[in-house]
Amino acid sequence: MRCFRNRDVKMVRQSIRRMRFAFPVVATLVAMSAIAAAGMRQVQLDSGLTLIAIHDGWCDISAVSVMVDAGSRYDPDERGGLAQLTNEMLFEGTRDATWEEIADELDRLSIRYGALTSEDYAEVYITSHETEFDTALEWLSEFMLRPAFDEERLDREKEIAIGSFESEMNDAFTRTYHSLSGLLFPGHPYSRPVLGTPESVRAATRDEILSFYEQHYGASNTVVVVVGDFDVDEMVAGLEVLFAGYPARDVRRREPSPVELEGPVGLNIYHEGEQGFVEIGFLGPEIGSDDYAAVQVMVSALGDGSGSRLSGCFGDSDPAQLCVAGAFVSVRSEGVRLVAYASSDDADGTLQTLNEEIEGMRTVAVSAVELEQAKSRIETRFAAKTETNRDKASAIARRYLLGLPQDFREMYLDRLESVTADDVERVARTYLVNPATVVERPGEPPSRGI
């Protein structure tokens, strides 16, 4: 069914299969620093491709993430969604195997795979039991090196993307968030949906997909991260063979463009329904900066679940009148967003309450209990994001593309522990300024006079 040209597949399989017996399986999940000490190797090939192999024997499921600096911020102005389509099409058949053949074999071997596209990056990943991981890696290299970009499959992916966009637009939070991004990043690629629009997606052609792949998928802006129970040196040797043909293109990477809001901006939008929705956003510090951990604590204290100020503020509200309320930090390479949100049948009252609570973060110091609860929630969420080998592989790949040190996790947790109430008040006064506000109101817009 498959034809792996110009490769010694037998040698690769034998090399990869020997990896499973290199280290004893450990019974507990170890920290990333301990994993690195026990077995981690990072190499950069002559082509510029970076390979990172990490031994982690806590389970028998291995994972690989291939992450490329080819997110939607590279979409042409009139072709929103092109990055998303290109990334999804990598799984839709190769030059030697149809999509049906691929799906049948991977399903038979219980190999799980998928693609994820964000503003910053495009990722493809595969997980499998260690007994099938050699086959999983072979397939992944085929997806990356020899995609077919079949016209019929492209039509299918277009319909899926359009359906996903329309589904998102049926959700008040997502609709409002898209509008908020437009206010926070005017004229910037972050102002556009990753999925594009139905019009831009329908207009995309196979030639444009192929051109995007050839322009943005190259060794110099790609990282391959593998996590599992294997010998890291033998894994790297196997990956060097499998990815030897990955193109060493001179990829032109996007230069980050600074984003600043000079004053408050706002937008009213209208939608059928009975509930209103409010989102207020701010620009935050760069990830890895001295203020980053303190900002995370501030936002958690404001609206991260039970025990936060927003949960206490809206906790006694009638469930029929209030659906959700909270706050979160959205991290991107060219801009960190701090967002507070709530839904209610009283949009103006909700807006006033959110503004009061945001002002309270600037003027009323967090208590010792609030501080510790916020830190605990962050640590819990942080740990949950690296529970599986798939999670770890993706997290390490993201750190690499963001230019962060591989021990960033430990550095961040150390900084988090040292955050004080004074730090929270300081960053609140620094970053909770120049808000971008989007209010979605139920009903029709008011009529204008002549």
Beta bridge partners of 67: 123, 223
Query: Could you tell me which of 152, 162, 161, 137 has the C-alpha nearest to residue 87?
Result: 161
The whole-number average pLDDT for the span 394-403 is 92
265-442 shares the fold of 9-242:
yes
Task: Kindly list the domain boundaries of the chain, sorted by start residue.
Answer: 9-242, 265-442
Confidence of residue 76 (pLDDT cuts 50, 70, 90): very high
pLDDT in tens, 122-156: 999 999 999 999 999 999 999 999 999 999 999 99
CB crowding 6-28: b at 16 or more within 10 Å, else e:
eeeeeebeebbbebbebbeebee
15: pLDDT strictly greater than 80: no
What is the CATH code of the structural domain delimited by 9-242?
3.30.830.10
What is the CATH code of the structural domain delimited by 265-442?
3.30.830.10
Specify the pLDDT at position 4.
Answer: 32
Confidence of residue 14 (pLDDT cuts 50, 70, 90): very low
Q: Can you give the pTM of this predicted structure? A: 0.86
260: pLDDT strictly greater than 50: yes
Q: Which of 109-123, 185-199, 268-282, 303-317 has the lowest mean pLDDT?
A: 303-317
Q: Which of 49-53, 295-299, 381-385 has the lowest mean pLDDT?
A: 381-385
**Furthest-apart CA pair in the chain: how many Å?**
80
22: pLDDT strictly greater than 50: no
315: pLDDT strictly greater than 60: no
pLDDT in tens, 210-253: 999 999 999 999 999 999 999 999 999 999 999 999 999 878 78
Specify the pLDDT at position 106.
Answer: 94
The whole-number average pLDDT for the span 163-192 is 93
Q: Which of 150-159, 382-391, 406-415 has the lowest mean pLDDT?
A: 382-391
